[in-house]
Structure 1
Amino acid sequence: MTTRYDEPNRTARATNVVFRWLAEAGISIAGTRALRVRGRTTGKLRGVVVNLMTVDGRDYVVSPRGNTQWVRNARAAGEVEMGPRWRGRTVRISEVADDAKLDLLKRYLDRWYWEVKGHVGGLTPQSTDEQIRAVAPSIPIVELL
């Protein structure tokens, strides 16, 4: 696992606040969901908006920006809270191995590339399998159990 992290700029942060607020209110825009996870040092719940991807009845969350704070917190906690504030559910997580990411990343790029195009390690929906495999270790994917 590499430690790439594309930190959001001020505009992206402001936009994410709006989308997170909507997701926490139960309003999904293009598959967005509210995700909350306990901070590693403070223990406070930290919220972020993510795209929930379901493949073969299994739910996944991709971190296109890389090794973000929510990913690090989720690894430490071993669980996240998903959904609107009033009916969020706590779910355990399992990180997807690098060699199992190819199909998931292809599906993610097909669906959300328009939204994350500057933050997926240079990948596009037209990227070859080799290109995706090369970047896959820098894009954490967690399965919601």
Structure 2
Amino acid sequence: MPATPVAPAASTAAHVVPPGWFTVRVVNRFVAWLTRRGISVWGSRILAVRGRRSGEWRRTPVNVLTLDGTRYLVAPRGHVQWTRNMRAAGGGQLLLGKRAETFTVEELPDDEKPAVLRAYLRRWKAEVGLFFPGVGPDSSDEELRAVADRHPVFRITSGE
């Protein structure tokens, strides 16, 4: 995997919605347990990315969105640790069961995010809608653009 860092989007606002105890201790662990056994929950994967300071692999469950044949990683909770690590590493691995796919990414600028955010909300609004207050899958491009700087989006540029 190339060590070329990903250029951050125009705005890297400090927007972060930390997960609560139930999400960390129950939901994420359950989804990760299923995913490690090769069972994808609505497109779930375990994202493995090297820590930007430690170099250690960090893992977190993510939803991989496929839109018009292109795959994306969206950070509904904002500029969290995995997004910072992704910018530094330029890619990582998507894990499902014993299968590991190495990939690289390109971060989308805010102006390119509305269609991706709309598709992401269309698919996972019940799960992530809380992190997108005031917008949904039927929102206009302008409304989605207004929240785009809060939600990093990475286009998967190589891999499977």
Which bracket does the TM-score occupy, shorter chain normalised? over 0.9
Counterpart of 1:116? 128
Q: Residue in 2 aligned with 1:44? A: 56
- Aligned to 2:130, the other structure's residue is in SS state coil
- The number of aligned residues is 145
The reply on whether 1:93 has 2:105 as its aligned counterpart is: yes
TM-score (norm 1): 0.93
Q: Is 1:63 aligned to 2:104, yes or no?
A: no
Moved over 4 A (4+): none
Give the partner amino acid of 1:131: E
Letter in 2 for 1:48: T
Note if 1:74 corresponds to 2:86. Answer: yes
Unaligned runs of 5+ in 2: 1-10
| SS of match in other structure, 2:138 | coil
Identify the residue that residue 33 of structure 1 maps to in structure 2.
Answer: 45
Distance in 2 separating the partners of 1:79 and 1:64: 18
Partners of 1:92 and 1:140 lie apart in 2 by 15
- Gapped regions of structure 1 (runs ≥ 5): none
Contact 2:15 2:150 (8 Å CA) reproduced = yes
Amino acid at match of 2:42: A
Aligned partners of 1:67 and 1:140 also within 8 Å? yes
Match of 1:142 in 2: 154
Contact 1:20–1:47 under 8 Å retained in 2: no
RMSD between superposed Cα atoms in Å: 1.3
Percent identity, aligned pairs only? 39
* Residue 33 of structure 1, CA deviation: 1.2
Cα distance between partner residues in 2 of 1:123 and 1:9: 22
